[in-house]
C-alpha cells in the first residue's frame, strides 16, 4: 500500500507541475465553488498530510477500520456551504498561496522525502483533529489519502483540459473497493447492483461521495 501511495503521489506531483494548471490557476475548477488553485492546494494537501501525521504523537483513541471511518465521517454528501466544506476550500487556497510553481515544487520535494521515510515507518495509529474519538491505522490513512489523490487528480485534469493520469491498477482497485462500500451504505444494494449490471434499470447515481 505504501509503494502504491508513493506512485500515486508522484503522478499527482507531475500533474500539478503541468503548464495547463498554471495557465488556469485563477479560473473556476470542475467542482462547484472551488477554483483551480484551491483544488490544486487541496490535492497537494493529501501528500503533505502523510508527513504531518508521522510527526505527531501516537493517538490514544481506539482504532476503527477504514470502512468504519467512512461510515462515521459527517462530510460525505454534506452541503457545500457547511463549515467543513468551506474550510476545505479555504485550506486549499491557502496551500496554493505562493503560486503553481512553488506548490508543485513543494509536492515533489515531499514525495521524495516520503520515499525515504514511509516504507520503513512503523505501523501506528493516526488521527486528525476534526475526527471524532477514534483513530485509524497508518496504512488505512495512507489508503484514504490515495483515494483523495486519485479522485482529485481526475477533478484537476478535467478542470484544465488534460487527460486524467493513469494510476496503477492495484491502486484503482483498492479505491473502487472503498468507494463501492460507501455507495452501498448510501444507496442500498439494489441500486448499486443495478447500476453495475442493468443499465435499463440503473438509478441516476450511486455516487459514493
Dig out the grid coordinates for 145 from the structure.
Answer: 489519502
pLDDT, tens only, 171-195: 999 999 999 999 999 999 999 999 9
Dig out the grid coordinates for 110 from the structure.
Answer: 515531499
Q: Tell me the C-alpha distance between 207 and 104, whole Å.
A: 30
Mean pLDDT, all residues of the chain: 96
Q: Tell me the C-alpha distance between 149 and 12, whole Å.
A: 7
The one-character DSSP state at 137 is E
**Adjacent-strand bridge partners of 35:** 28
Q: Tell me the C-alpha distance between 13 and 165, whole Å.
A: 11
Fold for 2-164, please state it.
Answer: 1.20.120
Q: Domain locations in the chain?
A: 2-164
Residue 168's pLDDT is 97
Least confident of 80-89, 103-112, 154-163: 80-89
Residue 74's pLDDT is 86
The C-alpha R_g of the chain, in whole angstroms, comes to 17
pLDDT, tens only, 118-171: 999 999 999 999 899 999 999 999 999 999 999 999 999 999 999 999 999 999
pLDDT band (50, 70, 90) for residue 77: confident
CB atoms near residue 120 (< 10 Å): 7
Residues in the chain: 209
Helices (H) and strands (E) in the chain, counts: 9, 2
Amino acid at each position: 500500500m505504501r509503494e502504491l501511495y508513493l506512485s500515486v503521489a508522484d503522478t499527482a506531483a507531475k500533474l500539478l507541475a503541468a503548464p495547463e494548471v498554471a495557465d488556469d490557476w485563477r479560473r473556476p475548477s470542475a467542482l462547484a465553488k472551488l477554483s483551480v488553485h484551491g483544488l490544486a492546494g487541496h490535492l497537494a494537501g493529501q501528500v503533505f498530510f502523510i508527513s504531518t501525521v508521522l510527526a505527531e504523537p501516537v493517538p490514544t483513541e481506539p482504532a476503527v477500520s477504514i470502512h468504519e471511518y467512512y461510515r462515521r465521517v459527517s462530510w460525505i454528501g454534506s452541503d457545500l456551504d457547511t463549515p467543513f466544506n468551506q474550510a476545505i476550500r479555504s485550506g486549499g487556497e491557502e496551500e496554493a498561496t505562493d503560486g503553481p510553481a512553488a506548490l508543485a515544487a513543494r509536492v515533489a520535494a515531499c514525495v521524495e522525502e516520503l520515499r525515504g521515510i514511509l516504507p520503513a515507518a512503523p505501523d501506528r495509529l493516526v488521527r486528525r483533529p476534526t475526527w471524532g474519538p477514534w483513530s485509524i491505522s497508518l496504512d488505512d490513512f495512507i489508503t484514504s489519502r490515495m483515494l483523495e489523490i486519485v479522485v482529485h487528480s481526475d477533478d484537476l485534469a478535467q478542470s484544465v483540459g488534460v487527460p486524467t493520469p493513469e494510476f496503477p491498477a492495484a491502486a484503482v482497485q483498492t479505491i473502487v473497493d472503498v468507494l463501492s462500500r460507501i455507495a452501498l451504505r448510501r444507496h442500498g444494494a439494489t441500486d448499486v447492483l443495478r447500476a453495475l449490471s442493468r443499465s435499463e434499470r440503473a438509478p441516476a447515481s450511486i455516487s459514493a461521495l
